[in-house]
Every structure is written in structure tokens, then in C-alpha cells.
Copies of this chain bind each other. A is one copy, B any other.
Amino acid sequence: MTMIQDTEKKFLDHVKKMAAYNEALGLMYWDLRTGAPKNGIEQRSEVLGVLSSEVFAMSTSDEMASYIEVLSTPEAQEQISEITKMSVRECKKDYEKNKKIPAIEYREYVILQSKAESAWEQAKAESDFSAFQPYLEKLVEFNKKFINYWGYEGNKYNTLLDDYEPGVTVEILDKVFGQLRESIVPLVQRIAASEHKPVTDFLFQPFPKDKQKDFSLAVLKELGYNFDSGRLDETVHPFATGLNPGDVRVTTKYDENDFRTAVFGTIHECGHALYEQNISPELIGTPLCGGTSMGIHESQSLFYENFVGRDFHFWKRNYSVLKEYANGQFDNVSLEDYYRAINESKPSLIRIEADELTYSLHVMVRYEIEKGLFNDEIEVKDLPEIWNNKMEEYLGVRPDNDAQGVLQDVHWSGGAFGYFPSYALGYMYAAQIKEAMLKDLPHYDQLVEEGNLIQIREWLTEKIHRHGGMKKPLEILNDVTGEGLNAQHLINYLEKKYAEVYKL
């Protein structure tokens, strides 16, 4: 064995160990959210702390440094496998990111994060931004310092964006978000003025939880979720988590007066899960065994939620099935009226309750604010006012209080700046992917109507899922669609769909 081969083996063992720790951590987080007894949580947090620190230590260890050094030489790059090469690239990025922050500052930051999250919870409960303001100011300050340590290209905010969506920059986002806004804002106004609003009252009838669960399970099966590689549980905030490709769990939430929460939540999480269940097994035990970015992940959940779950052909097949589980609430509702009702759009204050048309506008409000904060154009103290103004400008609604405005999301309290744009990117990616898919699967509508979803899932697996982290987001987009980020596909889709739903 040459020195390079030997180092490659040691490096792969090292990352395999890290993957093992991450899987144990993943299970503990799943457990905390699906029914861990409350009195055990304090000690569980200790355990999470011990294992997380260990992973962090492994990612910044001297061994890791020497593996990266040896395996990054041109000579080594020629000899090692593609998987090792990409794994080294991932580890190097993390190593450099983590090593550039002085240890003492990192520790202070971790403590601040946990305090800030408690402060945010309290502030939100009392709808009082001023109670959260000092924490948010410190979090922004820390991140500004980090940007200086890490360096930046073009715009300072790019460094933060890169963490969630490598390759996507302010320059790109300004362009696509601008384009999107120019089309969506007038469309929202035309919808508001439409005289053909869907009737929705029948949606909010009692639908027993256990029946919702049975229907959710049936839908998961229809979409191709593999129950030998997963399970469905109940949580307050639905999520999907891939512990390894053979164990990808989804959760959902049941609202007995609004079945849509469970049905569309389940479909959304199933999209995430199909991604993780179908990653190539050869990536197991490497840092590449997961979705490649937040945005691409979201593109998969949104693809299923919007292009399958809110599609007319899906319900042409499944509306009668839904009726079997429901308690008579749809008996006098035609398929067309049902379809229009589940695709209702109206501006609202809360992002996570927004429909597919207005969702991106919520993201843009946050994007503009984050960009302003890190370019010293906005001060934290002014956020409530700026937030409310932007909401009025983009969506035509203005929050009455901070809880329904600037304090609604948890992300900033954890220092997650640069994350929000991924949600809107998910919509754009999904629309672009759908267009590309139509070239290979021109009978898409028919497939959905016949329940032949396996072909759709296999196409996505071939193009996206199986690669895990082997390809970066814009690389995937380009390979799949032949172009870069392009908002026009989403715009076309939204205009066509809402013209139909609202008879514009």
C-alpha cells in the first residue's frame, strides 16, 4: 500500500466514524421530537453536547488536517476515488471554516445561540422585539466577524449564503427575486380582485385524526415511500430525517379541523424522504450521504407538494380515496371545486402558512433584510418597522405586532442567516426540474392520474437523488435542465395555474 492509499483508507475510516456519530445524533433529535419523556431532556442535551463536540473535534483534528493535506496534492488527486475526492473537498471546507474562528469566540457564540433562542421564545410569546434585540445584535456582530475571518467575494452576505446554497450569490438572487417579484406582486393583486374566488368552508370540517393518519399512510405508499426504510410519526413541527438511506423517517401533524395540514405536510416531507432514501448506497459513511443543499432538498419536497399533491390529475385519481377516509365533508363538493379550494391563494402574515404563490414574497422580505444587515445598510433596532413596511409593499398586509411579524421565525435566534433564500430557490428549482422532466416524460399528467408515480421518482433518483453530495446545486441544475437558475419557469407555472383557479 502506498502512502496515499494508506491515507485514503485512514481518511475514509475517519469520516465513517464521523458519520456514525451523526447518525446517533440524528436518532436522538428524532426521538426528542417524537415523544422522548420530558424529564430526560436535560440529560439528553448533555449527551447531544458530548457527541456533537466529538464530531466537531474530529472535523478539526490534526489527523483531519494531515489527511486533507496529503489527499489534496495533485498526485493524490489522480489516485484517489471520486468519492474520496469529493469527501475531502467537503471536509476541507468545514475544516477551514471551523479553524478560522478562534476557539474562545466559537464557544462564546455557542452559548449566545442557546441564550438567544430562549430569549426569542420569550420575546415572541410577549410579542416584544426589544427583548430579543440585544441578542440579535450580538448574533449579527458575531456573524460579521466570522465573515471577516472566512473572507468573502463580491458581497459580504455571499459568505453566509454559501453555507446553505454553495454557488448562489447576491448577484444571482437579486436578479431572480426581482424578476419573480415583478410577476408575482401583480398576480396577487389580480387574484385579490377576482370575482371567482374558491369556496373553502367545506375544508374545515372535522376529520378524525386516525383517519387522517390512514390516508397519510396511503398517500406515502402511492408516492413510493419505502416503509421498509422508514416510518411515519406525529410531531408538532413536521420534518423528514435521513439517518441513513435505509432509515429515513417522516413525521406529520394532524389538525382535526383542517386535514390539509397532515395531507400536504406528509406529501412535502415525503419529497424530502424520497431524496434521502434513494441516495446511492456507496455514499453511506461519507459526508456526501445526504441532500446536496437546502435548496435542492426543498426542490424535492416542493416538487411533490405542488406538482403532485396540488395537481389536478393527482386528485382526479385520489379524491374518491380521500372521501372514503373523510366523514362526509366532501360529499357535495365537485372535484373541480375541491381542486380550486386546495389551491386558494391569499396574502397572509405568517410564512409557514403561506400558499405556493405568496410564499416567495415572504422569503424576499427576509432576504432583503439579511442582505441589508450584513452590508451595514440596516440596523437591528429598526427591524420591526422595516419588516412591516416590506410586508405591506410585497404582500399588501401589515402585521399588528412583532409576534406576527419580525419575531415569527426561529432561524435568526440560532444565527442561521442566509438560510431563508433556499426556500424560494426550492420553488424555482422545482419548476425548472418539472420542465426538464416533461421532455423525458411527456405524459406526466397521465402518469400522475394513473398513479404511476414510480417513473417520476425514478427519473428524480437518476438525475438528482442518487448523487447525494457528489454534485453541487447549480451543477445538478445545469445537468438536469441545461441552464442556470431561471425564475421564468416558476412564473409561467404560477401564472397558468392561478389563471385557471381564479378564472383570470
Question: Which residues of chain A have a CB within 8 Å of any CB of chain B?
Answer: 16-17, 20-21, 23-24, 27-28, 31, 35-44, 46-47, 50-51, 226-231, 243-249, 284-285
Contacts and interface: CB of A to CB of B under 8 A. Distances in A.
A244 B31 contact: no
A40 B246 contact: yes
A246 B41 contact: yes
A243 B48 CA distance: 13
A247 B285 contact: no
Contact of A21 (B16, B31, B50): B50
A39 B228 contact: yes
A31 B27 contact: yes
B246 A35 contact: no
A228 B27 contact: no
Given A39-B229, A284-B43, A50 B246 contact: no
A39 to B, nearest CB: 3
A443 B428 CA distance: 73
B37 A247 contact: yes
A21 B46 CA distance: 11
Given A27-B31, A38-B228, A41-B246, 18 more contacts: A20-B46, A21-B50, A23-B43, A24-B47, A24-B51, A27-B27, A36-B247, A37-B246, A37-B249, A38-B246, A39-B228, A40-B244, A40-B246, A40-B247, A43-B247, A43-B285, A44-B244, A46-B285
A254 B229 CA distance: 25
Contacts of A50: 16-17, 20-21
B47 A23 contact: yes
Contacts of A37: 227-231, 246-249
A28 B39 contact: no
List the 3 shortest-distance A-B pairs measured between CB atoms, nearest first.
A40-B247, A39-B246, A40-B246
A39 B243 CA distance: 11
Contact of A244 (B28, B38, B43, B248): B43
Given A27-B31, A37-B231, A39-B226, A51 B246 contact: no
A220 to B, nearest CB: 13
Nearest to A24: B24
Contacts of A249: 37
A227 B31 CA distance: 16
A243 B32 CA distance: 13
A28 B245 CA distance: 17
Contacts of A46: 16, 20, 285
19 contacts: A21-B51, A23-B43, A23-B47, A24-B28, A24-B47, A27-B28, A27-B31, A37-B229, A37-B230, A37-B249, A38-B246, A39-B226, A39-B229, A40-B229, A40-B243, A40-B244, A42-B246, A43-B243, A43-B246
Contacts of A231: 35, 37
A231 B248 CA distance: 23
Nearest to A39: B246
Nearest to A46: B20
A298 to B, nearest CB: 24
A229 B38 CA distance: 6
Contacts of A23: 43-44, 47
Contacts of A247: 36-37, 39-40, 43-44
A23 B48 CA distance: 10
